[in-house]
């Protein structure tokens, strides 16, 4: 495929609970193609998933559930206790996620692509692949409250996850566009609607239209 045929790609990121999924859903409803690396990771480790043979070979049958999917609690415990195991898991999954997300971006039949990557700011490779970076942002206390309501984790556990992610300031420092999601879902959607108009124009310009 020629370089000119590459679609315009907007990276979408934000801390846990900031509202990335809600934002991505709105972009999708407006007609953008959404490529979500979390979703790809789940598909790779679902029953019959492309990563499962390599994961079983590396870690044994104990990390495979009866249905052939990744036994997530077992893998999480292993990866948490053993840094080398976590790195081995990442060495299997990350290249597959990168390749599959790249393929989906290239094949997207939409004016532009939203590439949703939770740890985009932390990862050099994804930043090289995007034309623009959109960060969903809200105060940390709001993130904690939303994740607690969604998941049943306690505040301490949510804060521990947030501590392993880039800081709010680090994300905002590299953002081209910021979606303030401290308000209502309707306000979030109105902001996405406005960004969508801009991304359509940028994508058209990039194509030379």
Give the Cα separation of 6 and 106 in Å (integer).
6
| Residue of 107, 141, 185, 190 that binds ligand ADP (CB under 6 A) | 185
Site for ligand ADP in 136-155 (CB under 6 A): 146, 150
37 contributes a contact to ligand ADP by CB under 6 A: no
Q: Angle at the Cα of 40 (from 207 to 166), degrees rounded to 5?
A: 80
17 contributes a contact to ligand ADP by CB under 6 A: yes
- Residue position matching structure tokens 């990039």: 206
184 contributes a contact to ligand ADP by CB under 6 A: yes
Q: How far is the CB of 127 from ligand ADP (least distance, A)?
A: 18
Count CB-CB contacts under 10 A for residue 204: 13
| Residue of 158, 188, 195, 203 that binds ligand ADP (CB under 6 A) | 188
Classify residue 7 by burial, with Cβ atoms within 10 Å: 0-12, 13-18, 19+: buried
Between residues 7 and 19, which has the closer beta carbon with respect to ligand ADP?
19
22 contributes a contact to ligand ADP by CB under 6 A: yes
Between residues 12 and 92, which has the closer beta carbon with respect to ligand ADP?
12
Let me know how many helices (H) and strands (E) the chain has, helices first: 10, 5
Contacts of 184 (CB under 8 A, 6+ apart): none
181 contributes a contact to ligand ADP by CB under 6 A: yes
Residue 103 tokens, joined? 């393929």
Between residues 105 and 179, which has the closer beta carbon with respect to ligand ADP?
179
26 contributes a contact to ligand ADP by CB under 6 A: no
Helix (H, G, I), strand (E, B) or coil at 116: strand
130 contributes a contact to ligand ADP by CB under 6 A: no
Residue 164 tokens, joined? 């392993």
14 contributes a contact to ligand ADP by CB under 6 A: yes
Q: Which residues bind ligand ADP (CB under 6 A)?
A: 14, 16-22, 146, 150, 181, 184-185, 188
């Amino acid at each position: 495929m020629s370089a000119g045929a590459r679609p315009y790609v907007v990276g979408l990121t934000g801390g846990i609970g900031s509202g990335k999924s809600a934002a991505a859903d709105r972009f999708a409803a407006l007609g953008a193609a959404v490529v979500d690396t979390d979703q790809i990771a789940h598909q790779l480790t679902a029953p019959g998933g492309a990563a499962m043979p390599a994961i079983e070979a590396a870690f044994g049958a104990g990390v495979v559930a009866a249905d052939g999917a990744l036994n997530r609690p077992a893998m999480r415990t292993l990866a948490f206790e053993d840094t080398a195991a976590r790195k081995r898991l990442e060495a299997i999954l990350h290249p597959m996620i990168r390749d599959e997300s790249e393929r989906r971006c290239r094949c997207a039949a939409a004016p532009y692509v939203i590439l949703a990557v939770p740890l985009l700011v932390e990862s050099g490779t994804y930043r090289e692949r995007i034309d623009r970076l959109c960060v969903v942002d809200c105060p940390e206390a709001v993130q904690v409250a939303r994740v607690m309501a969604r998941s049943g984790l306690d505040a301490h556990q949510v804060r521990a996850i947030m501590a392993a992610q880039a800081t709010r300031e680090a994300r905002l420092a590299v953002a081209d566009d910021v979606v303030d999601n401290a308000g209502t879902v309707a306000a979030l959607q109105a902001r996405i609607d406005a960004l969508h108009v801009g991304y359509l124009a940028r994508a058209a310009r990039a194509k030379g239209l």
